[in-house]
């Protein structure tokens, strides 16, 4: 372990930070012409750097957002982005120092939760993050009649690239954070994922669904590289959100019906999306993978627990350990009417990372207990805990950052 100078970076240091992350992820530095589009994707005052002497050797940043939690509330969220350590300084405590400083900052800002998409999942449990949502990657053979016509309504219109970012943003805001796990998309998010992509010629295409009350869904996609497009290309769906099942079905029907397309691929879709049931032939779809998606960290455990809704069951006392933010440690009585600290004996004991995995309701406590991730002091409490933590449907993020 080596001491490091960890501090918030000034704006003029952000380019070095993003290039360090790109180097760690095996990408080239940001081109000179591209930096004006990248610079606004950082939030000033939220970019940390670790230094060895005068050299920047690690960085971590975040955006201020909101996360939908079970019961419909939206809590202040720190969306963690661009974490990286220079290859010659890994395993020297650089990342640990960054994570400790960053989490302390979130606590001071009053951000109840933190979340990230993990490039290396084995890393983040050490800092209290747990995999709270999953997503699947699907591939569907294309065809104009792929979707049951009874599922469709409204119409789909292609959007010009210069209008795409504003139109899509308006629809996303209209749809709202309707599932636990969905996040508010910040100005920086839109710049990073849409404005920059459109400005740099990423060949991103957009269409919106128009229902009885106006635009209520959108899909963005791009064709994957192909030597001979006349034999059919693969379309990659980048983003698809809709306010109604009919709008979602119409958007899927649209991309599956585009000429000279042999299949449509989509990553990051909900695990419970009923796409097989929309298809006239369910064998047109194959699931390539189901992966961890959003990793959640409870920064303020009592506030986070008290903010979500709970199922109907007798109370369970949960003892939480938190090595990074020790104020969170303690016993909590979880009941349908809320959560409070208690001195009563614990029924279940777990680390804050496991609590993060449970928080949105994707996995029941009994599953983590069977894997040895939860210590069970009262076996009868597991069934009660499963009912308390349960939610209707699967949580889903739907926004990469």
Choose the catalytic residue: 106, 124, 332, 389. 124
Q: Check the annotation: does 95 bind a ligand.
A: yes
Q: Check the annotation: does 120 bind a ligand.
A: yes
Instruction: Give the Cα-Cα-Cα angle 294, 295, 301 (nearest 5 degrees).
Output: 125
Per-residue 3-state assignment (H helix, E strand, C coil) for 120-188: CHHHHHHHCCEECCEEEEEEEECCCCCECHHHCCCEEEEECHHHHHHHHHHHHHHHCCCCCCCECCCHH
* Cα–Cα distance for residue pair 361/366, rounded to 1 Å: 12
Q: Check the annotation: does 290 bind a ligand.
A: no
Q: Is 194 a residue of the active site?
A: no
Classify residue 35 by burial, with Cβ atoms within 10 Å: 0-12, 13-18, 19+: middle
Q: Check the annotation: does 85 bind a ligand.
A: yes
Rounded alpha-carbon distances, angstroms, from residue 227 to 71, 224, 231, 233, 357: 49, 10, 9, 9, 43
- In sign, the C-alpha dihedral spanning 293, 297, 301, 303 is negative
Q: Check the annotation: does 91 bind a ligand.
A: yes
For residue 64, give the nearest of 82, 50, 80, 40 by alpha carbon: 80
Q: Is 124 a residue of the active site?
A: yes
Given a contact cutoff of 8 angstroms between Cβ atoms, the answer to whether 95 and 123 are in contact is yes
Which ranges of 235-391 would DSSP assign to H, the alpha helix? 245-256, 275-278, 301-307, 352-359, 365-370, 380-389
Neighbouring CB atoms inside 10 A of 230's CB total 7
Q: From the annotation, which residues make up the binding site?
A: 83-85, 91-96, 119-120
Binding-site positions for acetyl-CoA: 83-85, 91-96, 119-120
Q: What residues are labeled active site? A: 124, 401
């Amino acid at each position: 372990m080596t001491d490091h100078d960890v501090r918030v970076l000034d704006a003029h240091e952000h380019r070095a930070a993003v290039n360090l992350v790109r180097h760690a992820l095996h990408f080239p530095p940001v081109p000179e012409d591209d930096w004006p589009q990248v610079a606004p994707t950082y939030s000033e005052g939220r970019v940390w750097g670790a230094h060895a002497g005068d050299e920047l050797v690690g960085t971590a940043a975040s955006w201020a957002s909101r996360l939908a939690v079970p019961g419909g509330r939206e809590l202040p969220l720190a969306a963690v982005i661009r974490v990286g350590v220079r290859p010659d300084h890994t395993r020297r405590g650089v990342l640990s120092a960054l994570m400790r400083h960053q989490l302390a900052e979130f606590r001071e800002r009053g951000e109840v939760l933190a979340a990230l998409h993990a490039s290396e999942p084995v890393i983040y449990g050490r800092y209290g993050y747990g995999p709270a949502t999953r997503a699947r990657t699907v591939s569907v053979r294309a065809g104009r009649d792929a979707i049951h016509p009874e599922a469709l309504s409204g119409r789909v219109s292609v959007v010009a690239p210069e209008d795409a970012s504003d139109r899509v943003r308006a629809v996303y805001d209209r749809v709202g954070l309707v599932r636990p796990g969905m996040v508010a998309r910040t100005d920086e998010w839109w710049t990073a994922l849409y404005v920059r992509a459109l400005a740099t010629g990423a060949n991103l295409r957009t269409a919106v669904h128009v229902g009885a009350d106006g635009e209520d869904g959108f899909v963005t996609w791009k064709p994957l590289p192909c030597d001979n497009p006349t034999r059919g290309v693969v379309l990659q769906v980048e983003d698809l959100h809709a306010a109604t099942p009919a709008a979602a079905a119409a958007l899927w029907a649209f991309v599956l019906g585009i000429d000279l397309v042999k299949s449509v691929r989509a990553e990051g879709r909900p695990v419970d999306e009923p796409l097989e049931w929309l298809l006239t032939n369910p064998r047109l779809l194959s699931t390539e993978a189901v992966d961890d998606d959003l990793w959640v960290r409870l920064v303020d455990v009592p506030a986070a627990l008290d903010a979500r809704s709970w199922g109907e069951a007798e109370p369970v006392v949960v003892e939480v350990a938190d090595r990074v933010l020790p104020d969170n440690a303690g016993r909590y009585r979880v009941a349908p009417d809320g959560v409070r600290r208690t001195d009563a004996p614990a029924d279940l004991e777990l680390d804050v990372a496991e609590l993060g995995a449970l928080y949105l309701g994707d996995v029941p406590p009994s599953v983590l207990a069977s894997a040895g991730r939860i210590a069970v002091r009262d076996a009868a409490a597991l069934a009660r805990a499963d009912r308390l933590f349960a939610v209707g449907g699967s949580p889903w993020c739907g926004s990469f950052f």
